[in-house]
Structures are given as structure tokens and as C-alpha cells.
Amino acid sequence: MTANNLCLDIWMQRRSGPRRKRIDDYRNVYQRDRARIIHSAAFRRLQSKTQILAIRQNDYSRTRLTHSLEVAQIGSGIVHHLKHAYQDREDIQTWLASEALIETICLSHDIGHPPFGHGGEVALNYMMQDHGGFEGNGQSLRILGKRGSYSEDFGMDVSRRTMLGILKYPALYQDVVGTYPTKPSNLRTFKAKHWGPPKCVFAEERSLLEWILQPFSEADRALFTSISKPDPARHGKTQYQSFDTTIMDLADDIAYGVHDLEDAIVLGMVSREKWQQVLAPQLGDIDDAYLQNELPRLERQLFSRTSHQRKEAIGDLVCWFITNAQITENEQFEHPLLRFNVTLPSELRQALDVLKTFEMDHIIQRPEVQMLVYKGQQMLLEIFEALQADPARLLPRELAQEWHQAEAKGKNSHRIICDYMASMTDDYASRLYKTLFVPSSGSVFEPI
């Protein structure tokens, strides 16, 4: 066996050790990882979790599930492009993710996100402030390595390299968290802008983080987990991502910047006038031949009111980003999985950032959207407050038992409540809220 094969094999390991052989199962480890994600309850629940626009407001806009499927398709497209663009680089070909691996990483990148989008993430972080915090990416890693249903002790028990690909922010919560204001006395006065979480891994997953990074040299681990924190009062930030993570992250940005814009156009939230006032001038100022030549056509097709023309424009934009992805090398790192990164040329990165900023400013921050975000946050805050007041009484029986065990061992029992809250769909959280707080709702004969 070659040295390269030995290096690759360590990334295929699972924490549970060698798997039991199944007769005539010729799939590789990453194909089995992908199957575990697709068939998991956590993945299915994404069908009823908010992406940008609230679930049940319409039957057109993306959910976390459809978004994850699109990220997987784009991620696979990026890998396919890189495979051909760098076909003469044996070192890159050796370490470039397979289709099954990158799809697994992309499909599971949002698997830990709570109900009601990033608003729900902020609400859970607020309630967990004194108990280790909450952050969606950290919860995704926790599900894959601890809370998923494929292993009693190791969660989804996916391979080490899949775990590395999910690891967007390789730092523990306590090492990056900044300073929060004093909590208000009334949940109704909660201000979301004060309670955003740091991008992190939870303290409970320290051993999992160490296992994922074990194959790297000490110098690579130190650099990879280094933090930038110039202001002690503000959250610190990690500075590096692995090869696979940069592909997934770029695919995520493209899906958000382009596909979520399509939703807003179709639903009338972005008009042609708004495009001409805001987006067209900013995109037109970018020094790129494609944009200079194609921007008028893209505008015409996006607002043509015919779906095939709109789809052609959306497809062209996605393809433009995918086919311009390139690999850079950071020679500070020894290992190829850290040394190689996937990026866009500066002009395309600028264009994608313009699209993302536009969506934040003109879609997500719209008052009618933020009112729904606020409502979702308030429901989660009040449910969490009730559950933590009497978890033995109100938690589902199995979780109540876990909570008792955590209490008895002096562990962070609030994390059990948080796991339950994060796993909820928008619909489930809404029904539980009504059962707990609306007098005319709820019955022992009507399961939540």
C-alpha cells in the first residue's frame, strides 16, 4: 500500500472503529456517510425549517432541506470543474473530494440549525449564555459526532474527513466568545442584535475536535485552530478552513446569493425597479467582462415573468461562479487538506458579496420578515424558559431521563434541553408553544 493510500485511509476512519461487513456491500465509506445523512431524522426535519422566508407563508420558497440539496448539487459541480481544470496536478487530484464526500458534507452542513432560521439560533444562544452557548454549525458537528441515531455513543458516526468538512470554525466556544450585555428582565424586550453567537465548537465536543484533527502535525493543528480576537469584548474568529470546507462554503454562498434571490423575485419581494436602483449599479461597477456584457440580458430574463427565461438566467449565474472557482495554496500548512483552498477571483467574490448583502438589506431585514423572525424567537425563548423551569416534568420521557443522568453526573444538563429545542421543526415548535401557553389548545389525544 502506498504512502498516499495510508494517508487517505486515516480520513475514512469512524470513531466507532472498523464496521461490521455486510455481504455484497461494495460502497465506499463516503457513500455510506451520504446514505446515513439522507436517511436520518435530522435531515428530514430540514423540510420544515426556515431558510430565508418563513415556512407555510407560501409553498414556493426554499426550506433548509431544498437549500441543502442545492448546495450539494453546486458543491458537486465545483468538484467536477476542479477535477478537469487541474487534471495535470496529481497532488490536487489525490486530495480533491469525491462526489459522494462533497455531497455528504453539503447535505449535512445545516443539519444542526434550529427552527426559525438564524433568529432561532440567536434565541437559543441567549438562553444558553451561561451554559456554553449555541451556534448552528457547532450543533451540526454535535449531531454528526454525538446526537445522531446511528450509534449509541458517536451520533451519525460518519468518517473523520466528513467531520473535517463540516468543521467550519475549529475553535471552542469559551475561546472565542466575547462579552454580552446584562440580560433584560423581560423576554419581550430581548434584542437579537446583542445576542449573536460566536462561530464555534461547543465545549462538550472538545474530544471530538481533537479526534478530527489528530492526523495533522502539531504545527498544522496550532495554525488551523488559531483565533483572531483584537477586541476582547467582541467574538473572536477562526481564520482557516479545510479544502473540503471551502468548497462547501462557496457552494453555500452561491446557493444563498443566487437561488434565494430567485425566491424573492418570484414572490414579488424584489422588483425590477429595486434591481435597477440597487443591484444593477453595484454589479455594473465590477470590472468583469461577463457582467459588463450580460447584465442587461440577465435583468431582462430574471424579470420576464416566464419561468424558463428566469431559470436560464439563474443557471447562467450559478454556472459563472462554479466555472471560475480556483484553488489557492497556503504554504504555511503541511497537509494538503489544509494547504489547498477553493476561492473565487476577486471580481466574482465581489459580485457574490453584493448579492448576499442585497438579500440581507432588502429581504431579510424587511420589517414584515423581521416580525416573523421576532415571533419565532419569542416562542423559542418562552418554551425554553418553561422547559428549564421543570425539565423532569415537561421534557419527553427519554430526554427527561438523559437530563436526570446529566444532572447526577454534574454535566451540562441545559445542553439536553437545547438539543431538543434545536431539533424542532418550525411546525413542531409552534404546536408545542400552543400546547404550553394557549388555553384552548392541546389535548392528551392530540400528540404534538
pLDDT single digits (tens) 261-309: 998 898 888 999 999 999 999 999 999 999 999 999 999 999 998 999 9
Is residue 63 within 8 Å of residue 255, measured between CB atoms?
A: no
- Reported residue count of the chain is 448
Residue 1 pLDDT: 38
Q: Based on the structure, what is the number of domains in the chain?
A: 2
Decide the pairing of beta strands 326-329 and 340-343.
Answer: antiparallel
Q: Are both 360 and 415 inside the same structural domain?
A: no
Alpha-carbon span 356 to 400, nearest angstrom? 41
Instruction: Let me know whether 359 and 377 are in one domain.
Output: no
User: Rounded CA gap, 290 and 297, in Å?
Assistant: 11
Angle, in degrees to the nearest 10, between helices 243-254 and 346-359? 50
**Is residue 279 within 8 Å of residue 107, measured between CB atoms?**
no
Instruction: Give per-residue pLDDT as tens, 172-185.
Output: 999 999 999 999 99
Based on the domain organization, do 268 and 322 belong to the same domain? yes
* In a domain? residue 374: yes
Residue 294 belongs to a domain: yes
> Do 345 and 286 belong to one domain?
yes
395 pLDDT above the threshold of 70: yes
**Residue 318, domain member (yes or no):** yes
Cα separation, 138 vs 153, in Å, equals: 18
Q: What is the pLDDT of residues 140-149, one digit of tens each?
A: 999 999 997 8
Judged on CB neighbours under 10 Å (0-12, 13-18, 19+), 304 is: middle
Considering the domain architecture, whether residues 356 and 376 belong to the same structural domain is answered as: no
Is 34 a member of any domain?
no
pLDDT of residue 75: 98
- 356 in the same domain as 257: yes
Residue 39 inside a domain? The answer is no
Same domain? 402 vs 353? no
User: 392: which 3 cell numbers?
Assistant: 423532569
407 and 329 belong to one structural domain: no
- Based on the fold, state whether residues 403 and 416 are members of the same structural domain: yes
- The mean pLDDT value for 369-379 works out to 93
Domain-ending residue, one of 334, 349, 365: 365
Q: Residue 13's CB: how many other CB atoms inside 10 A?
A: 16
Asked whether residue 332 is assigned to any structural domain, the reply reads yes
Specify whether 324 is located in the same domain as 427. Answer: no
| The overall pTM is greater than 0.75 | yes
From 320, 337, 365, give the residue that closes a domain: 365
**Which of these three, 365, 399, 423, is where a domain ends?**
365
Query: Is 255 in the same domain as 296?
Result: yes
pLDDT digit string (tens) for 78-114? 999 999 999 999 999 999 999 999 999 999 999 999 9
Question: What is the pLDDT confidence band of residue 3, given thresholds at 50, 70 and 90?
Answer: very low
- 233 belongs to a structural domain: no
At residue 6, does pLDDT exceed 70?
A: no
The HSE-up count of residue 173 (CA atoms within 13 Å, CB side) is 21
Are 275 and 376 contained in the same domain?
Answer: no
Average pLDDT, the chain: 93
Domain that holds residue 314: 244-365
